[in-house]
Every structure is written in structure tokens, then in C-alpha cells.
Structure 1
Amino acid sequence: MKQALCVLAMLAGMSLATASASAQDMAEIARVQAGADCPGCNLFQADLSYRDLEGVDLSGARLRQADLSLSTMNRADLSRADLSVANLFGARFTAARFAGANLTRANAVGAYFGSADLTGAVLDGAILSGAEMETARGLTQAQLDTACGDRSTRLPAGLTIAPCR
């Protein structure tokens, strides 16, 4: 009986630690909203829409389901960041770094990726309709084969994208 209670207490503690590790950190979100760097931060569901965050370092940050719509993040470092299911609608990422970033199921409709580095970025299910990616670096056909776009999506010469359904 005592052993069973110990196991239950240990499992409850692990569940609590896991839950707090995945919850957003409001202090970190506020810092980034003010323009501060925050590499590796937990910005889950953060509202960064309409912000000017030029050059911000969010490398390795958790931005899952974050709202970056209509933000300006030129020269930002988003390498290895988790941007899965994030809203990047109409955002500007001129010369931003997305190397190794996870953009699974991200909405990047109308986003600008001029000279952005997308080397190794995961684009599974990403919506790139109307996105400007013509001068993006490191973008491959294999990445685009897992995403969708439309006729107004601008890609580097020789690359194509399937229409969204």
C-alpha cells in the first residue's frame, strides 16, 4: 500500500511538472512584446500581432499557436523555434532566420520572407498562399511538397507548390 502511494505521488508530481513546463510564461511574453530577446522562452499562444520586433532573438523558443499576424520581424532569429500552428498572416520576415524551425500547419498567408533563411525548416501542412518567398534562402522542393499555396505564392525559380484545398 505504501509503495502504491509513493508511485501515485511520483506520477502526480511528474504530471504537474509536465503541465507547468508546457504552459505559457506571461513574464517572458511581456518581455518579448516590449522588444526584448528571449531565446528558448515559452511563448505558447503569445499575442505578438502588430508588433515591430526587428532583430529579436527567439531562437529555440516555443511559439506554438502564437499570433504573429501583421508583425514586423525583420532580421529576427527564429532558428529552431516551434512555430507550429502559429498565425504568421501578413507578417514581414525580411532576412529572418528560420533554420531548423518547425512551421507545421502554420498560417503564413501573405507573409513576406524576402532573403529569409528557411534551411531545414519544417513546412508540413503550412499554408503559404500569397507568401513572398522568391528570394528566400535554403528553401527546397521537398519542403514545399509538404505545404500548400496558390498562384500568388512567389517562390525561387524552379520551385513549385501545390494548391491548398
Structure 2
Amino acid sequence: MRRLQKQAGFTLIELVVVIVILGILAVTAAPKFVDLTGDANAATLQGAKAAVETATTGVHAKSLIAGNHTALKATNPTVTVAGATIEIGSGWQNATLDNFNDLLDIEFGANEQFSSAVNGTSFFIYITGDTAPTEAAPGNCRVQYTESVDPNVKPTIDIDITGCS
């Protein structure tokens, strides 16, 4: 008389089916748990900071060539960059929306990823939907350009990527 042996484990097909199901779950569920928005915003702001630094260097070079790098902001000196008239003071661009809209190839606004604001002598780039930064309360996740009043001192260009989401 032949005895039936008791099965002691899973078949290869059962194991493959379980692995496939786990793979499908991982592919569909992982993106919900891994949010890279903050990292993307921080990286974009670092690129924006580099664009502001490059524009600042270019404007200062144009001002040196034009010989108006010592002219104070109150005298309304300008330089022309890529066909746009840029208002300067002490050889550096003034913190105005028009200046930065002309200098940067970045779209700002309610339907864009980032917005811009001017407060006092500072220009800000920040995440659309956040509270607009000010010199007194610059906030997090922003780039800040602050004018210089000395032709020998470069404007301050700061970035804070803490709190980017």
C-alpha cells in the first residue's frame, strides 16, 4: 500500500506568484511614501541662486565697461543686458521685479512653481503658495538677493533650503 507524502513547503510557482504580487504592490505604493517634492524644490532653488549669481556678475561687468560702476542708485544709472535696460546702483543691479524678470529665464507667478517679491533692498524667489518673504521675516525655502551700496562689495545672495516641501 502506497502512502501519500505530506507536502513540506511551497512550490516554485507559488513563490513566483507571491514575489510578483509583492513587486506590483511596491511599484504602486512606494511613490506614495517617497515624496521628492522638497528635494526637487531645493535643487531648483539652487539653480535659481546660480542664475542670480551669474546675472549679477554680468551686470557688474557691463557696469565696469560702461564706467558707471560708482554711480549711486539715486542717479538712476543703467546698463543694457540682452536688449533689456537694467537699473543699477554702485555697479550692481537694483532689487526690482523688472530687473530680475529681464535678467532671469525663470517664470514666476500663481501658476508657476516659484514666485518673486521685492521688499526693501531685497529680491526674493520662493515657492508659490508660501507667504511672501520680507527682509524682516525672510522665511525658509527661498533665494534672497540684497543690494550692495558699495561698488567694491558684491551684493549678498543667500539661499535657505530648509523647510522646502
TM range (shorter): under 0.3
Name which one, 1 or 2, has greater alpha-carbon Rg: 2
Higher share of residues assigned helix: 2
Taking structure 2 as the reference length, the TM-score comes to 0.26
TM-score by length of 1: 0.26
Q: Which has the higher contact order (CA 8 A, sep 6+)?
A: 2
